[in-house]
Amino acid sequence: MPPEVVFRLLQALILVGFVANRAYYNRKLPAPEQDTLEKQEPSGLGRLAELLALPALLGTAAYVANPAWMEWSAVDSPAWVRWGGVGLALAGFALLRWSHQALGKNWSDRPRITQGQQLVTEGPYRRIRHPIYTAFLLILGSSLFVSANWFIGGLWIAMTGLDVRSRIAFEEDRMLARFGDAYRSYRERTGSLIPWF
């Protein structure tokens, strides 16, 4: 099988795997709306991220269907760089799984505060406050390397970065209000998206 076909299939699998993971946890851990005390309302950054998702998805679909359609934004990358992108995606999926296990029923698809919410500081949360968002950046950002296409990768990174920034701003503020000094202390000993030692 030609290498480009392999990378096209891997790119498709990464995106499908990401969507399937989100759908699985939305179905497995649906949070009752009546438990919501406060949730994030759509923001300018969030809306911009949503707008970027469509061309990112269309560009990825075009690349998977026929790379010649996206050749205008292709980057000449050696195979080891592209395989490194696959490694980033796999690391992202592993971190995502670990994060979901640690959060359990505290997880929600959209940032919100619920009645029974607890401050989770175990698993990846021992060192990172937002490991799920780190996983998002690894998984979707890997598209830059796997597809070897600056348009596709750049859009996924920009979209994810904007969405993550919007979510973190809301969560940090609300968690501090809900958990006070406990969250303040936790924030001092952890990194936002990467471990802080």
Tokens read off for 115? 């009645």
Residue 181 has pLDDT above 90, yes or no: yes
What is the pTM for the complete model shown? 0.93
Domain range 3-188, CATH class: mainly alpha
Residue 62 has pLDDT above 70, yes or no: yes
What is the rounded CA–CA span in Å between residue 118 and residue 132?
A: 17
User: What is the predicted pLDDT for the residue at 30?
Assistant: 63
Q: For residue range 7-34, what is the model confidence (pLDDT) as tens digits?
A: 999 999 999 999 999 888 888 776 667 7
The pairs formed by 179-185 with CB atoms below 8 angstroms and a separation of 24 or more are 179/119, 182/119, 183/119
User: What is the predicted pLDDT for the residue at 188?
Assistant: 94
Q: Which of 150, 172, 175 is nearest to 75 (CA)?
A: 150
> What is the residue extent of each domain of the chain?
3-188
Residue 197 has pLDDT above 70, yes or no: no
Classify the C-alpha dihedral 165-193-23-21 as positive or negative: positive
User: What is the predicted pLDDT for the residue at 31?
Assistant: 65
What is the rounded CA–CA span in Å between residue 76 and residue 183?
A: 45
User: What is the predicted pLDDT for the residue at 55?
Assistant: 97
**Average pLDDT rounded to a whole number, residues 166-172:** 92
Task: Give the whole-number percent of the chain exceeding pLDDT 70.
Answer: 96
Q: For residue range 102-138, what is the model confidence (pLDDT) as tens digits?
A: 998 888 877 877 778 889 999 999 999 999 999 999 9
